[in-house]
Structure 1
């Protein structure tokens, strides 16, 4: 149970940090957080853990905070600002990927101790990298569009939970499908592929549910640029 308890505490810490960053730095803080979280999530995803009887990747939590950040932007600043944040995260992720790939081609010094670890973290298979990039831009864009649509249909604050959970849980389902399809379809038997897809989404579903109170908290903060 250690991993399960630590995972929940880790999720609460991540979402708390998003709200603190927003409280202190306003909209610009969320833009920075989205860029940072996309990079960190793609580093953490290399590590796998066992939790709830499932094998999961560690990056799902901080990746989920990017959806919370775009939902806050959508709620308080509108769809266009949320879209800008999504493209910022995408550009940041591509920039990091390009720079780290080039850095791996430098011949390390004889006493270097970092090259092996850097290759483990940043050397990628094209299908996995392509799946990650495509899943990010598709799911985040869909999240923004669904949230904006729900906000237009159900603008009252009592439906804030539905706007948040509806947009995030649907977009996370799409994110899991796109990534698993591009990265793993045909690499595993169909039943194994389906299990990977379901377990990936299950973890993201829990993360999406946990972020709801933090959106309510951020909603109460003064609107800052």
Structure 2
């Protein structure tokens, strides 16, 4: 099956689970989604795949839903709740890396098979962690700020797509130019430039795709709130 078909299905799956999380758990569900997405996206990003004729890191969809989540919090609840979510995600990154760095120091039993794989994934994570921490805190706070400012100027529901896309497109650009050069430091300069371009291109697609999702989120009445 082509990567593009899997990618579209993957995007719909992520958006669907996000909406279900919000439906069943309300604001808490959004916070839980951010925790889950932060951990999984930083693992997925280690893999580079070919999509639509370009090279891109795998974690873009799941990571993009974090921007969607903070936008939903900003839109439905408050800027304060959105900022709280950003710092929750930031804390999750930090704790995950510290715990896993200690965990992979154990000497595995001779019959164990998993430790080499854990070391391959999480042994590389500190570099990704540094890149993610910087990119995440800067881009997410910028996203919250821009969304809030646009909301102040254009508060009507018909301008929601401007708030969502305007804040996400700009903040995702910052995220990309911070993250890629650090996380993929071992690549040559031209490869890094190409990866910045292609990664941002995929993020733009995700930003456009999530526009209907934020409208759907506003129509949802959570069971728990």
**1:11-52, CA deviations, whole angstroms, 9 ceiling, x for partnerless residues?**
011011111110111000000110110001011112222111
Contact 2:128 2:183 in 1 (8 A): yes
Counterpart-to-counterpart distance in 2, 1:46 and 1:214: 27
TM-score by length of 1: 0.94
**1:104-128, CA deviations, whole angstroms, 9 ceiling, x for partnerless residues?**
1000011110011101211126543
2:97 maps to which residue?
A: 97
Counterpart-to-counterpart distance in 2, 1:120 and 1:55: 22
1:197 maps to which residue?
A: 196
1:67 maps to which residue?
A: 67
- Correspondence 1:98-177 to 2 at 5 A: 98-124=98-124, 126-177=126-177
Counterpart-to-counterpart distance in 2, 1:62 and 1:46: 13
Counterpart-to-counterpart distance in 2, 1:111 and 1:48: 31
TM-score by length of 2: 0.94
- SS of aligned partner of 1:105: coil
Number of residue pairs aligned between Structure 1 and Structure 2: 224
> Structure 1 18/125 Cα, relative in aligned 2: closer, same or farther at 3 Å?
closer
1:220 maps to which residue?
A: 219
Tell whether 2:8 aligns with 1:18.
no
Structure 2: state its 5+ residue gaps.
Answer: none
1:76 maps to which residue?
A: 76
2:58 maps to which residue?
A: 58
Structure 1: state its 5+ residue gaps.
Answer: none
